[in-house]
Amino acid sequence: MCSGRVDPAHVIRAFSKGIDGVFIGGCRLNECNYITHGNYYALNMVLLFRKILEHIGLHPERLRIEFMSGSEGNLYVEVVNNFIKKVKELGPLGKGEGIDEDILKSGLAEITRLVPYIKVVKNAKLRTPLRNPEEYEKFFTGDEIDRLLNEVISYYIDPEKCRACMACAKRCPVEAIISAKNRIHVIDQEKCIKCGTCFEACPPRFGAVTKIIGEPVPPPVPEEERTIVRKSKEKMIDNPLPID
């Protein structure tokens, strides 16, 4: 399998299951058999998530990537043995860093939830080939990761502006919008990957979708208050037709 197909979710899932270290082996850079050069993407993904591990208190050396050809069995054995030795020196995940187990689980769960968002926000950078190893350490900075995780973008549908046109719901790639005819739409924040499709899809004349940066999202409108009463119906209620 191409190393470029190793998703960040695979890495975080391994750590969430209690794995002490994750090793990724890829073809040598510039020697891609599929001409996709996915190993550059894998390299950038590792560089990014090493910084993210650091952000939540884990040692970045718990995640490593090495490049070698299929004929370099001796090199593979050497780098894997060195990695195992390093992980043993670091100790069990979290305990070696002195992190409380519940805090670690919470941190990993939050990163797991944000993986789709991180991939969207950092897509361009993840796909930028790094030709010079001297760029590796500075490609993603600590300040950049702090902003990425502390200034998370969320989207919220303003119930006062929503006209239940279904435009956002039809375009949402993960079906995260609870919608129905004549019902105020609500974004399921647990499903939302924060891609901004709803923000772009909402007709400008309504402007119902709001972008929220680094702030909590308002609670959704209660189920029983989501029905939209159209103006024509309001007039009929206020001025019913006379009965002969």
Q: Tell me the per-residue pLDDT of 20-71, one tens digit each, with 9 for 90 and over.
A: 999 999 999 988 777 788 999 999 999 999 999 999 999 999 999 999 988 8
For residue 239, the model assigns a pLDDT of 54
Q: What is the domain partition of the chain in residue ranges?
A: 3-141, 153-228
pLDDT at 242: 54
153-228 in CATH: which number? 3.30.70.20
Residue 157's closest CA among 181, 178, 186?
A: 186
What residue type is 119 in one-letter code? Answer: K
Average pLDDT over residues 78-101: 96
- The whole-number pLDDT of residue 111 equals 96
Q: Would you place residue 1 in the very low, low, confident or very high pLDDT band (cuts 50, 70, 90)?
A: confident
Q: What's the pLDDT tens digit per position in 113-169?
A: 999 999 999 999 999 999 999 999 999 999 999 999 999 999 999 999 999 999 999
Question: Contact 112/6 with Cβ under 8 angstroms?
Answer: no
Mean pLDDT computed over 196-212: 96
Q: Is the pLDDT of residue 233 over 90?
A: no
- pLDDT over 90 for what percent of the chain? 83
Over residues 3-22, the pLDDT tens digits come to: 889 999 999 999 999 999 99
CA geometry: angle 178, 179, 181, nearest 5 deg:
165
Judge contact between 212 and 154, C-beta under 8 A.
yes
pLDDT in the model for residue 236: 43
What are the tokens at 169?
A: 């719901």
What is the pTM for the complete model shown?
0.82
pLDDT at 192 over 80: yes
